[in-house]
Structure 1
């Protein structure tokens, strides 16, 4: 087989504490509005279905522990929202999975930013597709993948975010309206989930606004953390 030009490199994420093991990325799914403000508020919303969307796999950018990823804010951006999320990394898949089957698909976890661009009405008419908001070049930085058995999950863990050294979000993964396994089972109704899929499980409420020059550091206890600096558009 010959190619007209070199095919793009496979998107991969390093495995935590392993020099030669990498998680190959297949599809990237996301869920919107999947957190309540408290466990009590979550109970009121139990059973509701969060909006689902896809991100391009080549937006995933692994960031080594202790490093700061400098990301240039994309052009034509009215507002940028830094959504720090727990990400499920799958090694098995299928269609119409039960919640129990979906739980078994999770090989590990990482932390990721689902950077979301808010657009002016002229760029995104009301009800328009989310691609311009969600698929941003380099806009899905992630930490290394930590094997599930080395994390406290599915037990509740703190998810937090600092903006310029000020804590702006602090929540628990127990505030998710649909759990990661429930999200995977839901996704499998519409697509065949496969090994290598990433599931961004949603950001806690009250996400701050990002500006050029801001430094964000966030994480999920027992999973990983991530540090990103926002640079002005070129």
Structure 2
């Protein structure tokens, strides 16, 4: 077979033990902290989680300088705990869900907030607000054997050293096992899938030159700087 052009190289996320984790897809859980749901003008509920998807190519490693994206004047940070899937499956039971996890990492869901809210208010998809180049920075992935399954502990974000987000993983409305089971009802999960579990309250805008650091208890930090406009 002759290819028309060479395909893109796979996205490889660094693992704390020196290996690389090939990224397949991103599933991002929305409004999974009650205080953040309220700051976005929505009432928190456990009726059902919701999620959106992003390209694997949006993942960049900690230490990256992210270009400020075009067509926005309101580029926001969102600190997240990220689940890395090791074993696929469909209709995964909550009781078995954690056995599908390879490990965990800190991450960011960078968002063109003005475009997201405009789309939301018009009942349109969020793609232009969320599925943005370099918008999914990821810290080192720590295998379960190293860190277990973090369900409590501080999750925080600083901008230029100032704390902007500060919460506990225990505040998650839907836990890791619940979101894995839920997403697997709609898609057959595969090894390489990442689930961004949602962000606490305190989201806000950044500008070129800002330094953003996400920390989650027991995991490596995810640190990026905001570059000039693309």
TM-score over 0.5 (shorter chain): yes
Residues 81 and 196 of structure 2 are in contact (CA less than 8 Å); yes or no, is this contact kept in structure 1? Answer: yes
Q: Which residue number in structure 1 is paired with residue 55 of structure 2?
A: 56
CA RMSD of aligned residues (A): 2.1
Q: Give the TM-score normalised by structure 2.
A: 0.90
Looking at structure 2, the residues matched to 150 and 184 of structure 1 have their Cα atoms a distance apart, in angstroms, of 20
Looking at structure 2, the residues matched to 191 and 141 of structure 1 have their Cα atoms a distance apart, in angstroms, of 23
Specify which of 68, 87, 92 is matched with residue 92 of structure 1. 87
Looking at structure 2, the residues matched to 91 and 36 of structure 1 have their Cα atoms a distance apart, in angstroms, of 29
Residues 110 and 143 of structure 1 are in contact (CA less than 8 Å); yes or no, is this contact kept in structure 2? Answer: yes
Q: Deviations over 1:117-171 (max 9, x none)?
A: 1235997461111110111111111011110121153341210111111111111
1:56 to 1:10, Cα distance in 2 relative to 1, 3 A: same
Looking at structure 2, the residues matched to 191 and 93 of structure 1 have their Cα atoms a distance apart, in angstroms, of 10
Looking at structure 2, the residues matched to 46 and 156 of structure 1 have their Cα atoms a distance apart, in angstroms, of 20
- Which blocks of at least 5 consecutive residues in structure 1 are unaligned? 39-43
Looking at structure 1, the residues matched to 117 and 182 of structure 2 have their Cα atoms a distance apart, in angstroms, of 33
Q: Which residue number in structure 1 is paired with residue 211 of structure 2?
A: 215
Q: Deviations over 1:44-103 (max 9, x none)?
A: 95633232100001111122xxxx321111111031110110000001121111112211
Looking at structure 1, the residues matched to 122 and 45 of structure 2 have their Cα atoms a distance apart, in angstroms, of 28
- Which blocks of at least 5 consecutive residues in structure 2 are unaligned? 37-42
1:143 is aligned to 2:139: yes
Q: Which residue number in structure 2 is paired with residue 14 of structure 1?
A: 14
Q: Give the TM-score normalised by structure 1.
A: 0.89
- How much has 1:212 moved relative to structure 2? 2.0
Q: Which residue number in structure 1 is paired with residue 39 of structure 2?
A: none
1:151 to 1:127, Cα distance in 2 relative to 1, 3 A: same
Looking at structure 2, the residues matched to 199 and 122 of structure 1 have their Cα atoms a distance apart, in angstroms, of 22
Query: What is the DSSP-based 3-state SS (H/G/I as helix, E as strand, rest coil) of the residue aligned with 2:129?
Result: helix
Q: Structure 2 matches for 1:1-234, cutoff 5 A?
A: 1-18=1-18, 21-37=19-35, 47-63=46-62, 68-119=63-114, 124=119, 126-234=122-230
Q: Which residue number in structure 2 is paired with residue 41 of structure 1?
A: none
Looking at structure 1, the residues matched to 27 and 201 of structure 2 have their Cα atoms a distance apart, in angstroms, of 19
Looking at structure 2, the residues matched to 17 and 148 of structure 1 have their Cα atoms a distance apart, in angstroms, of 12
